[in-house]
Each structure stands twice: as structure tokens, then as C-alpha cells.
Chain A
Amino acid sequence: EEQLVESGGGLVQPGGSLKLSCVVSGFAFSVSAMHWVRQASGKGLEWVGRVRSKANNYATAYAASVKGRFIVSRDDSKNTLYLQINSLKTEDTAVYFCTSSGRYAAFDVWGQGTMVTVSS
């Protein structure tokens, strides 16, 4: 069974940092492009960033709202995706989902999400 499990969320002060993890099982993680998507409470979905596979040089891409503050990375030996979030702002408060774009190029498998709250 394909499964993505996020962790690492929590309460952090503005300006702080946090590193989210997403452990993957049940599909070929190492060849899959992986993404982070976030959702503020009661709001819509926002694509955050992506890291491609080793064959694609681990290329990354980011939404303008997070570029320069967020870093998407992966460790294929651990089947784990990461999101390093720095210089946090209150507007970064959201549930963060990891997801893959595999068979369909669209986001076909999702984690359950991890909550990040930025507040003083």
C-alpha cells in the first residue's frame, strides 16, 4: 500500500525555523518527483515546492511566496522527503501535505498532513 507519513509540525515563533519530514512506503520513491502542498485553516490548497529525482538532478522549484525561505530536499536511502522552513511568518500557518506526482503526473498519493502554527 502506498503511504506517506508527515511529521515535524508544531508551534514556532515568527522568524523561527522548522523541518518537516515525509516518510514514504509502498512505491518507488527514488524515481518519483515529490511535492509539498499547504492549506491554511478554512482556505484552499497552495502548492509550495517540489524536488525531482536523482535522474533529474534533484531539481527544485518553489512558489513565489516561499522562495528563498523554504528548501525541499530528499534522502532516497531513507525514502524520506523534507521541507526546511525558515524565517517563518504568521501567514505560513497551515497544514502541510507531502504528495507525489507519479503515474498520472498529477498528485496521486498524499500524506495526512502535519500542522505548522506560527505564533508568538
Chain B
Amino acid sequence: DIQMTQSPSTLSASVGDRVTFTCRASQTITTWLAWYQQKPGKAPKLLIYKASLLVSGVPSRFSGTGSGTEFTLTISSLQPDDFATYYCQHYDTYPFSFGQGTKLEIK
């Protein structure tokens, strides 16, 4: 089974900062990777699919890169609404799996 590892576990930042999250797969998943944002008590929201494609309606300050086993999610200029937990997920082969999440906190 493919394991997903995210780093860091927690990230403290300020409004206007540029932040980058990292996700690593235990084996190649080409670009079958998605990024989700989740706020407390809410369902996750799909932001990025196929490693770098932005979901319609998601602000362009979100971007994703990577292929193979190394992936990143970048928020170019943090907005107050962005403070949440971010998960990566592979959908290369079953069983699908998620990373453990990165909590983005206000500094």
C-alpha cells in the first residue's frame, strides 16, 4: 500500500505570507494526487487535482506542483480564510490514502 507523508505537521504564518506544504508518497503515483482544505466541523474541500490542476472556483493563490513521489501545495499570499488543515491524498491505486495533514495556524 502507498503511504503519504506530509510535512510539517503544523505551520504558523501571517496574513500575506507565502507558505508551502510538502507531501511525499512511498512509491510513485505519477500525478494522481489531490489537495484538500478542511475547517473544523466541516467536510474537506477539494482544491487541487492531478497534482497541479486548480478546481473551478478555487482562488488562484493556491497552486500545486510535483510528480512521482514529491509534491507541494503553495499559497502565494495567505488570506484569513486560509487558516485550516490541509491534506494530500493519492488516487493512483487502491487503497487510496491521505497524508496525516498540515495544520496552518495564525502566527
Residues on B with C-beta less than 8 A from A112 are 43
Chain B residues 54 to 72 lying within 8 A of chain A, measured CB to CB, are 55
Residues on A with C-beta less than 8 A from B53 are 104
Question: Is A44 an interface position by the 8 A CB rule?
Answer: yes
Question: Is B83 an interface position by the 8 A CB rule?
Answer: no
Contact between A97 and B46 (Cβ–Cβ < 8 Å)? Answer: no
Contact between A105 and B49 (Cβ–Cβ < 8 Å)? Answer: yes
Residues on B with C-beta less than 8 A from A46 are 97-98
> Which residue of the partner chain, among B46, B97, B99, contacts A104 with CB atoms under 8 Å?
B46
Nearest CB to that of B43 among chain A residues? Answer: A110
Interface string of B25-59 (1 = CB under 8 A from A): 00000001010101000011110011001010000
Question: Is A27 an interface position by the 8 A CB rule?
Answer: no
Instruction: Report the minimal beta-carbon distance from A30 to chain B, rounded to whole angstroms.
Output: 21
With A45-B44, A97-B43 given, is the CB distance from A104 to B95 under 8 Å?
A: no
Contact between B34 and A107 (Cβ–Cβ < 8 Å)? Answer: yes
Contact between A104 and B55 (Cβ–Cβ < 8 Å)? Answer: yes
Contact between B46 and A111 (Cβ–Cβ < 8 Å)? Answer: no
With A44-B87, A47-B95, A62-B95 given, is the CB distance from A110 to B44 under 8 Å?
A: yes
With A107-B46, A108-B55, A112-B43 given, is the CB distance from A44 to B100 under 8 Å?
A: yes
- Listed A/B pairs (23) with beta-carbon separation below 8 Å: A35-B96, A37-B44, A47-B89, A47-B95, A47-B96, A47-B98, A63-B95, A64-B1, A97-B43, A97-B44, A101-B91, A104-B46, A104-B53, A104-B55, A105-B91, A107-B34, A107-B36, A107-B44, A108-B49, A110-B44, A110-B45, A112-B43, A113-B43
